Structure 1
C-alpha cells in the first residue's frame, strides 16, 4: 500500500476531512490534499505528528505500523 493510501485511510478512520486533518497536524489543507494525491510526501515532523495523532485516537495498530514503515 502506498503512503498516500495509508494517509487517506488514517484520515477516514479519524473521521476527519482533509481540512480537519490539516488543522490537527498544523499544516495547510493543500499539504494533506497533495499527500493523498501522491504529489508530495509529508516531512518527518508532519509524519510523526500524524502517527502520534493516530496513537492518541486509538487507530488500528496495523495502520500505525504502515505509517511508520511505508516509504
Structure 2
C-alpha cells in the first residue's frame, strides 16, 4: 500500500478532513493534499509521526 493510500484510509477511518489531519500531524493543508495526490512523499520523520498517530488511534497500517 502506498503512503497516499494509507493516509486516505486513516483519514476516512477517523472521519477527518484534510485540514483536521494536517493539524493533528502538525503539517500544512497543502502538504496533506500533495501526499494524498501522490505528488510528494513524506520525509521519514513525517512518516514516523503519521504511523504513531495511527497507533494512537488504533488504526492498523502495514509498515514497509
Q: State the TM-score, normalizing by the size of structure 1.
A: 0.81
- Give ranges in structure 2 of 5+ residues lacking alignment: none
User: CA-to-partner distance for each residue in 1:8-64, whole Å, 9 max, x for gaps?
Assistant: 1111112211111110010000000000001001111111111111101111x2xx2
Conserved? CA contact 1:4–1:38, under 8 Å: yes
- Give ranges in structure 1 of 5+ residues lacking alignment: none
Count of aligned residue pairs for this structure pair: 64
Q: Distance in 2 between matches of 1:31 and 1:44?
A: 14
Residue equivalent to 1:8: 8
Residue equivalent to 1:47: 47
The 3-state SS of whatever aligns with 1:31 is helix
Range that drifts further, 7-16 or 22-31: 7-16
Residue equivalent to 1:33: 33
Q: Aligned-pair RMSD on alpha carbons? A: 1.1
> Bigger relative contact order, structure 1 or 2, given CA contacts below 8 A and separation 6+?
1
Q: State the TM-score, normalizing by the size of structure 2.
A: 0.89
The 3-state SS of whatever aligns with 1:34 is helix
